[in-house]
């Protein structure tokens, strides 16, 4: 009986190894190009570096663990009692035919914003918060919204190796599609050269 189980175990282990290798190569090929959530700037994450999503977020927010294969922080602000993160990255897309199997693809919407307070997290879509929609789950006070959008721009300047390098990549179409608060902060950011 033991000798009959051995080939089955070897086959199962080989199958798992192949699946893990395919998953790793899928992630690697998907990660060769990225686009940011605010300005739709295409870039190579191997050359342009945004901070990776902290593991604490994946541990605290099950929704993020289940949603993202890999994500980066495009905005971050810590207030006196709430910490905010703006995230965007590669998401897990479950297979319709094979339960438990997923593919990885670049996020197509505008990313997520997370409010972390006392180890509790609330997750919402970035536009609903920045455009101040009625159904937003996260209500960021105006003064903090100004701070986090200013921080986003500083983070972009750092990632793209300087303010001028970043601003060269911002297209008129991207400017026009920004939420009003981000447009205002971008104007202040540009004039502070």
DSSP character string of 89-103: EEEEEE-SSSTT-EE
Q: Which residues of 62-99 are buried (b: 16+ CB within 10 A; e: fewer)?
A: eebeebbbbbbbbbbbeeeebbbbbbbbbbeeeeeeee
Do 6 and 84 sit in the same domain of this protein? no
Contact of 94 with 110, CB cutoff 8 Å: no
Whether 107 shows a pLDDT value over 60: the answer reads yes
The model's pTM: 0.80
Helices then strands, counting H and E runs in the chain, come out as 8, 8
Do 90 and 140 sit in the same domain of this protein? yes
Do 83 and 70 sit in the same domain of this protein? yes
In the three-class reduction of DSSP (H, G, I as helix; E, B as strand; rest coil), residue 170 is classed as coil
Do 24 and 100 sit in the same domain of this protein? no
Q: What is the pLDDT of residue 155?
A: 96
Do 16 and 73 sit in the same domain of this protein? no
Do 3 and 36 sit in the same domain of this protein? no
Do 23 and 98 sit in the same domain of this protein? no
Do 24 and 37 sit in the same domain of this protein? no
Q: How far is Cα 99 from Cα 109, in angstroms, rounded to an integer?
A: 24
Q: What is the pLDDT of residues 115-164, one digit of tens each?
A: 999 888 999 988 777 777 778 888 888 899 999 999 999 999 999 999 99
Do 12 and 97 sit in the same domain of this protein? no
Give CA separation, 62 vs 54, 56, 66, 128, in Å: 13, 11, 6, 21
Q: What is the pLDDT of residues 2-50, one digit of tens each?
A: 556 566 555 555 555 555 445 554 444 445 788 899 999 999 988 999 9
Site of tokens 């191997």? 46
Contact of 138 with 85, CB cutoff 8 Å: no
Q: What's the domain count of the chain? A: 2
Do 13 and 85 sit in the same domain of this protein? no
Closest CA to 130 of 40, 38, 63: 38
Q: Tell me which residue range forms the domain holding 8.
A: 1-30
Do 1 and 23 sit in the same domain of this protein? yes
Q: What six digits make up the tokens of 65?
A: 């663990």
Q: How many CB atoms lie within 10 A of CB 155?
A: 19
């Amino acid at each position: 009986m033991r000798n009959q189980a051995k080939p089955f175990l070897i086959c199962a282990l080989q199958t798992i190894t192949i699946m893990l290798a395919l998953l790793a190569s899928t992630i690697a090929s998907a990660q060769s190009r990225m686009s940011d959530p605010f300005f739709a700037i295409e870039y190579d994450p191997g050359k342009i570096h945004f901070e990776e999503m902290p593991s604490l977020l994946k541990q605290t927010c099950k929704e993020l663990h289940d949603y993202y294969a890999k994500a980066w922080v495009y905005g971050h602000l810590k207030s006196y009692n709430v910490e905010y993160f703006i995230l965007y990255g590669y998401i897990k897309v479950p297979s319709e035919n094979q339960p438990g199997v997923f593919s990885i693809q670049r996020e197509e919407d505008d990313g997520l914003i997370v409010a972390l307070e006392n180890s509790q997290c609330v997750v919402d879509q970035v536009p609903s918060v920045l455009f101040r929609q009625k159904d937003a789950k996260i209500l960021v006070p105006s003064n903090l919204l100004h701070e986090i959008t200013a921080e986003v721009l500083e983070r972009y300047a750092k990632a793209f190796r300087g303010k001028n390098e970043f601003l060269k990549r911002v297209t008129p179409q991207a400017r026009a599609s920004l939420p009003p608060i981000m447009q205002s902060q971008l104007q202040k950011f540009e004039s502070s050269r």
